[in-house]
């Protein structure tokens, strides 16, 4: 019987380095196995990098492309190969290809939220032109480049750049009663437009004195591999209403981080901020809607309502954030909407946010599929 990767030897991979062996045990989430005539990857929100390998070989043609992905926030990985000659066993070849990816892009294996898929191309049998088909890995990621991010912040503050997603400005304007705030903000690379927007808001509202402390987090100060919940670090705080000083602290946190993971240490940052500013009355978390919260298990330590401003919600809401707001008696805010009183919602209750419905099922919010 022909073997495939659909049942995945992904779970246990053995990699040899010189005389030693390193066993990689990672829970890779295999989304599905896709069979297509010829694979043409597309994505509306993520950047695509194609790491090409010759047909029948497992070495990257351009390894430098793979190395550049080490600091990127990888969301999805596709292993693409051709079923040609039809019926051959490609499991050993693809095992070597996976190990090649691990050698150059280990962060593709560090996060259980990264979605994997095997793509089998079937068109070669008809055309016979195997070299006209792509083989290797397609990596979907959110790009991170520090110099570009810093330029983005500068351009926003100087009025050289137009803000297309004004989530923070509009949420703050709708909620003028938020005062004596502790603002906790994710400043990882993908959040740069919102970091710039937060600093601009402070610049425009400095005289209001609505904030008491800013706490910025970058998910671990370049820490790679497995991160211990509650001890990930990369958290920077400042008590100031001077937008320039706040900007300097945010940029310090950005410079000391490096991207690379999708998950973030939101709750660890919340707890640290609250400990440092116990007199703060409104806890506002500016969160990346795309990034899973790695440390939800710490939520039981939070005794304050969390107001969550969600950034990047065009494709729906990260339901983890709805759960966090409900558990703490807090609220969720997008560019268009404020959703309060979540703590009053019970099992089976339905809510709507930005035109999408969510229901509480077994204690957690799930998106209701449209019919």
Whether residues 185 and 123 fall in one domain:
no
Q: Are residues 53 and 105 in the same domain?
A: yes
Output the six-digit token pair for 309: 């401003």
Mean pLDDT value across residues 199-214: 95
Containing structural domain, residue 48: 12-142
Q: What is the pLDDT of residue 71?
A: 80
| 308 and 212 share one domain | yes
Tell me the pairing of strands 282-288 and 306-311: parallel
Same domain, 259 and 297: yes
Confidence of residue 14 (pLDDT cuts 50, 70, 90): very low
Domain count for the chain, please give it.
Answer: 2
Tell me: pLDDT of 296 over 70: yes
192 and 136 both lie in a single domain: no
The residue with greater pLDDT, 257 or 64, is 64
pLDDT confidence of 257, banded at 50, 70, 90?
confident
At residue 9, the pLDDT reads 42
Are 257 and 298 found together in one domain? yes
Walk across the sheet containing 364-367 and list its strands. Answer: 350-353, 356-361, 364-367
pLDDT at 329 over 70: yes
Q: Is 348 helix (H, G, I), strand (E, B) or coil?
A: coil
Share of the chain above pLDDT 70, in %: 89
Q: How many CB atoms lie within 10 A of CB 233?
A: 19
CB distance 241 to 206 below 8 Å: yes
DSSP three-state, residue 131: helix
Residue 7: what pLDDT? 36
pTM listed for this prediction: 0.80
pLDDT confidence of 371, banded at 50, 70, 90? low
Same domain, 123 and 155: no
**Looking at the structure, do residues 168 and 208 belong to the same domain, yes or no?**
yes
Give 53's contacts (C-beta < 8 A, 6+ positions apart). Answer: 59, 60, 61, 97, 100, 135, 136, 137
Beta-sheet strands, E only, within the chain: 12-17, 20-25, 29-36, 47-52, 73-82, 115-121, 136-142, 181-186, 211-217, 235-238, 282-288, 306-311, 331-333, 338-339, 350-353, 356-361, 364-367
Return the pLDDT at 33: 86
Q: Which CATH number do you get for residue 223? A: 3.40.50
Provide the token pair at 312.
Answer: 């990047």
Which two three-digit tokens encode residue 178?
């938020």
Could you tell me if 65 and 158 lie in one domain? no
In angstroms, the CA 321 to CA 365 distance is 9
Residue 2, domain member (yes or no): no
Query: How far, in Å, are 8, 158, 189, 206, 220 from residue 244 at the CA level?
Result: 51, 12, 20, 11, 24
For residue 5, being part of any structural domain is answered with no
The overall average pLDDT reported for the chain is 89
Other C-beta atoms closer than 10 Å to the C-beta of 132 total 11
Residue 370 binned pLDDT confidence (cut-offs 50, 70, 90): confident
186 and 136, same domain (yes or no): no
Taking only the tens place, the pLDDT of each residue in 63-81 is: 999 999 988 889 899 999 9
Lowest mean pLDDT among 45-49, 140-144, 172-176, 335-339: 140-144
Task: Give the mean model confidence (pLDDT) for residues 282-298.
Answer: 95
pLDDT classification of 29: cutoffs 50, 70, 90: low
Comparing 29 with 122, which gets the higher pLDDT? 122
Residue 143's pLDDT band (cuts 50, 70, 90): confident
């Amino acid at each position: 019987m022909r073997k495939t990767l659909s049942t995945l030897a992904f779970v246990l991979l053995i990699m040899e380095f010189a005389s030693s062996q390193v066993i990689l045990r990672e829970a890779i989430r295999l989304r599905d196995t896709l069979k297509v005539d010829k694979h043409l990857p597309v994505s509306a929100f993520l950047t695509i990098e194609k790491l090409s390998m010759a047909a029948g070989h497992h070495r990257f043609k351009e390894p430098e492309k793979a190395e550049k992905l080490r600091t990127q926030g990888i969301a999805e990985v596709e292993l693409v190969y051709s079923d040609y000659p039809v019926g051959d066993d490609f499991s050993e070849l693809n095992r070597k290809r996976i190990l090649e990816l691990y050698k150059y892009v280990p962060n593709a294996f560090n996060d259980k939220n990264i979605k994997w898929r095997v793509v089998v191309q079937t068109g070669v049998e008809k055309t016979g032109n195997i070299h006209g088909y792509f083989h290797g890995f397609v990596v979907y990621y959110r790009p991170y480049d520090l110099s570009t991010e810093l330029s983005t912040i500068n351009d926003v503050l100087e009025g050289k750049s137009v803000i297309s997603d004004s989530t923070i400005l509009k949420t703050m304007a709708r909620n003028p009663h938020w005062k004596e705030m502790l603002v906790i903000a994710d400043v990882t690379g993908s959040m740069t437009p919102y970091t710039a927007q937060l600093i601009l808001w402070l610049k425009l509202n400095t005289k209001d004195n609505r904030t008491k402390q800013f706490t910025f987090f970058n998910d671990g100060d370049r820490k790679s591999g497995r991160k211990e919940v509650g001890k990930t670090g990369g958290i920077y705080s400042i008590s100031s209403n001077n937008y320039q000083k706040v900007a300097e602290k945010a940029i310090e946190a950005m410079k000391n981080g490096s991207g690379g993971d999708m998950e973030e240490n939101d709750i660890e940052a919340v707890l640290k901020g609250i400990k440092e500013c116990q007199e703060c009355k409104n806890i506002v978390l500016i969160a990346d809607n795309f990034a899973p919260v790695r440390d939800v298990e710490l939520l039981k330590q939070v005794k304050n309502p969390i107001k969550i401003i969600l950034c990047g919600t065009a494709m729906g809401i990260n339901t983890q954030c709805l759960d966090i707001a409900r558990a703490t008696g807090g609220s969720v805010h997008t560019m268009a909407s404020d959703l309060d009183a979540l703590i009053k919602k019970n099992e089976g209750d339905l809510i709507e946010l930005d035109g999408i419905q969510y229901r509480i099922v077994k204690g957690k919010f799930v998106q209701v599929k449209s019919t």
